Structure 1
Amino acid sequence: MQIKHLLILPIVFFLISCGSLIPSNHQQTQVSEWREGAYQLDPDHASLIFSLNHLGFSDYYGRFNTLEASLDFNPREPEATKLFARVDIKSLDVNNESFETELRGSNWFDSKNYPFAYLESTEITPVSDSEAEMRGNLTLKGVTAPISMTIKFNGGAINFLTGKYTLGFFATGTIKRSNYDISDLVPAIGDEVTLQISAEFLQK
């Protein structure tokens, strides 16, 4: 654990013991009230998890541990909001070191020739006060194809631990891996891959 995290623990415990000092439901869930501006992903509070069917027996889960993203957010015109993200393919994590090496190889992600995946939004359409549909392009293994994701707005507020204004999101969507030239063992191993992204963005 980093020293800065050790130093902050006593503060957290103090705030918890003084419950009145911790804001209750302090996140502003009304998107129109969020702060406009440029945001950067907080890598310590972000995750990209994927899952796909394994031989009909179970859903197999993995994740990527290294993400970068920027967000140009416009609460008055959410459709003008722009998102760009980059995923380090070599950060693939399936809790199995030898299988991770295989997945990084040319038959699967080919991380040597395609070390990054990219996600760029092209259209964001609000569907309610707490959700939006995002359409964009996902580039994976050198192939760019359209993607659609449902975004849930968790809230925006000053993070009382960091003092920084923060936006929180949860996004889900599906892709077909065969569209990106990753088709080994289809259909025994599922072609449809579910993506789940949880993210906090810090205002610059």
Structure 2
Amino acid sequence: FDTTKYTTATFTSTKVIPRGEHKYDVEGNLTLKGVTKPVTLHATLNKIGEHAMVKKQAVGFDASGTLQRSAFGIDKYVPAVSDAIN
């Protein structure tokens, strides 16, 4: 990931699509190593409520997705090491 040069990874959502009870697809742009690509995360809503420590409204999700690391220039040892990251 060359974290010395690329110190941050970012995800910016562009669209949220309801998929049933507490399930959502979150579309957006992921930036790794200075390369930005569209990705879709499959999210599950855990809870909406007041955060116990800061006393402000908060939302908790779990999310997962799959991406091809070579699309972001992280291609060392492909295909000996899987290109897909889950």
Taking structure 1 as the reference length, what is the TM-score of the superposition?
A: 0.39
SS in 2 for 1:188: coil
| Structure 1 residue 193: Cα displacement | 0.3
Match of 1:162 among 29, 49, 53: 53
| Structure 1 residue 148: Cα displacement | 0.5
| Structure 1 residue 115: Cα displacement | 1.2
2:31 aligned with 1:139: yes
- How do 1:174-185 and structure 2 match up within 5 A? 174-185=66-77
Tell me which amino acid in the other structure corresponds to 1:117: A
Structure 1 residues 144 and 157, CA, compared in 2 at 3 Å: closer, same or farther?
same
| Structure 1 residue 187: Cα displacement | 1.3
Tell me which amino acid in the other structure corresponds to 1:162: M
Which residue does the alignment assign to 1:127?
19
Q: Which consecutive unaligned segments of at least 5 residues does structure 2 have?
A: none
SS in 2 for 1:116: coil
Match of 2:5 among 110, 113, 136: 113
Q: Distance in 2 between matches of 1:114 and 1:162?
A: 32
- How do 1:9-158 and structure 2 match up within 5 A? 109-158=1-50
Relative contact order: is structure 1 or structure 2 higher (C-alpha 8 Å, sep ≥ 6)?
A: 1
Tell me which amino acid in the other structure corresponds to 1:153: L
Number of equivalences: 85
Q: Which has the higher helix share?
A: 1
| Structure 1 residue 155: Cα displacement | 1.4
* Higher Cα Rg, which structure: 1
Percent identity, aligned pairs only, is 36
Structure 1 residues 114 and 162, CA, compared in 2 at 3 Å: closer, same or farther?
closer
Q: Distance in 2 between matches of 1:143 and 1:163?
A: 34
Q: Distance in 1 between matches of 2:15 and 2:58?
A: 22
Q: Distance in 2 between matches of 1:184 and 1:131?
A: 34
Match of 1:188 among 63, 80, 84: 80
